[in-house]
Amino acid sequence: MVDSSVSSSNEQDTCEIDPIYDIIDYLVRCANISFKNSHNTKAEIRTREQILVAYELYTQSPTQFLYQFGKYLSPNHLNYFETIQSNNTNKNFKICIEQLKLYHSNDCKNKRIRNRRYKAMQKLQDSSDYFSDKQMMYRNPLLYEQLVGQYLTDDEKIERDGVDNENLTFLSMILETVDRNEMRETKNKQMLIEDASSATEALPDAQDVEGGSCGKEKKWGDFDIPDTKPNYMPEPQKQSMINSNERNLLREEFLQEMYSSFIEGRDLDFDYNSVDNNEEYDDLQQISQDAEDKYFDSEDNDAETLEEHMQHVQEYGRKNSSDSNSDPLDVFMQHISNKLQKI
């Protein structure tokens, strides 16, 4: 009898636990949201106290709680707030839930991640050597050789592989050797994969075998050059086979592939979590523009929407530009496409 009564009591207590505690626990532990002590804003408080403070904020204003922390929630947490919205008469509470559902949708998430990666790519171009010829060659050596490397002059190769003699150390020499050995291994693996895929794509036709082509496929960077040289002539240098416009075209193709590889998350050694979950890479100017569009496109142009717009303008500032309504990633990819068409 005692055991059964204790068991029923435990079950009742379990049922009475508000799921909001689990949600807040997720914010504190997993999303690393730090709730400050109201009496001392500089002092960190313990996890248990943070949960109690967060719950107090929620009970005071569920709407304000969602505005501040909703974007850090897991998408399945929104189901809880949808179940309680019928008891909440605040119109903004329902609107906030709909906005968060859109924010956590796969389409918005994927677009947000791509735009953050695009911003990170711009930062890497300006402040690091991540997109230098040398580093891109290390990441994709076979493609680099096919589109760029084989057409470089000896002087250009020396400039690309130049060593910083001022900062040259024994350790840097070792690291350079390790990088080049890894690059050779990567290139060999890529060549094996390319040869295997070429062999399985199609078998040569009988006419091709008779004609001597043996079904060999062209690789990136190869051109149809008539075989007019005598057999005793040495193989000419690749860079003499194509003009400068063709070299630029191939280089643009290589750059486009490397940029796409980064944005699509195919750079295996890059820590994408540091970008995908980092709000510092959000396009703040675009956020401000979206807030303004939301106000002017709304039927009521209500004060709350205007206040939201003004808050974004004040916080992030405005820059007048003709393409401010465009997705920066789409503008960039269109720019690459236009350059390829002009060459």
Query: CA-CA distance, 164 to 330, in Å (whole number)?
Result: 37
The percentage of residues in the chain with a pLDDT greater than 70, rounded to a whole number, is: 61
Class of residue 312 by CB neighbours under 10 A (exposed 0-12, middle 13-18, buried 19+) = buried
| Structure confidence at residue 317 (pLDDT) | 46
- pLDDT over threshold 70, residue 59: yes
Most confident of 10-24, 264-278, 279-293: 264-278
- The CA distance from 173 to 300, in Å, is 67
Which pTM was predicted? 0.63
User: What pLDDT, in 10s, does the model give residues 90-100?
Assistant: 888 889 999 99
> pLDDT of 279-332, one tens digit each?
899 876 555 555 555 555 555 555 455 455 445 544 444 444 444 455 666 665
HSE-up of 247 (CA within 13 Å, CB side)? 13
Q: In degrees rounded to 5, what are phi and psi of residue 217?
A: -95, 150
Q: Return contacts of 38-42, CB within 8 angstroms, 24+ apart.
A: none
Higher pLDDT, 137 or 47: 137
Question: Which of 55-69, 97-111, 169-183, 230-244 has the weakest average pLDDT?
Answer: 230-244
Mean pLDDT for the chain overall: 74
Backbone angle region of 265, left / alpha / beta, with phi > 0 → left and psi within -120 to 50 → alpha: left
Highest mean pLDDT among 16-20, 181-185, 285-289: 181-185
- Whether residue 50 is predicted with pLDDT greater than 50 in this model: the reply is yes
CA distance 129 to 40: 43
Name, of 35-39, 59-63, 294-298, the range with top average pLDDT. Answer: 59-63
Q: What is the pLDDT of residue 52?
A: 86
**Which tops the pLDDT comparison, 127 or 309?**
127
For residue 63, pLDDT over 70 is answered with yes
Q: How far apart are CA 262 and CA 259, in angstroms?
A: 5
How far, in Å, CA of 258 to CA of 321, rounded? 28
pLDDT of the residue at 198: 78
Residues of the chain above pLDDT 90, percent? 30
**Tokens (6 digits) for 220:** 């990136």
Q: How far apart are CA 174 and CA 215, in angstroms?
A: 43
> φ, ψ for residue 145 (rounded to 5)?
-65, -40
pLDDT reading at 124 higher than 60: yes
Query: Looking at beta carbons, which pairs linking 257-261 to residues 24 or more positions away fall under 8 Å?
Result: 257/140, 257/143, 258/131, 258/136, 258/139, 258/140, 259/121, 259/131, 259/332, 259/336, 261/139, 261/140
Q: Which residue has the higher pLDDT, 179 or 217?
A: 179
d(CA 212, CA 206): 10
Distance from C-alpha of 257 to C-alpha of 147, rounded to nearest angstrom = 11
Per-residue pLDDT tens for 131-156? 999 999 999 999 999 999 999 998 89
- 28, 47 Cβ separation under 8 angstroms: yes
Is the confidence at residue 69, as pLDDT, over 70? yes
Look at 83-87, 129-133, 231-235 and tell me which has the smallest mean pLDDT.
231-235
Residue-by-residue DSSP string for 88-105: ---HHHHHHHHHHHHHTS
pLDDT digits (tens, 9 = 90+) for 185-201: 888 888 888 888 877 77
Selected residue with higher pLDDT from 328 and 130: 130
**pLDDT, greater one: 111 or 200:** 111
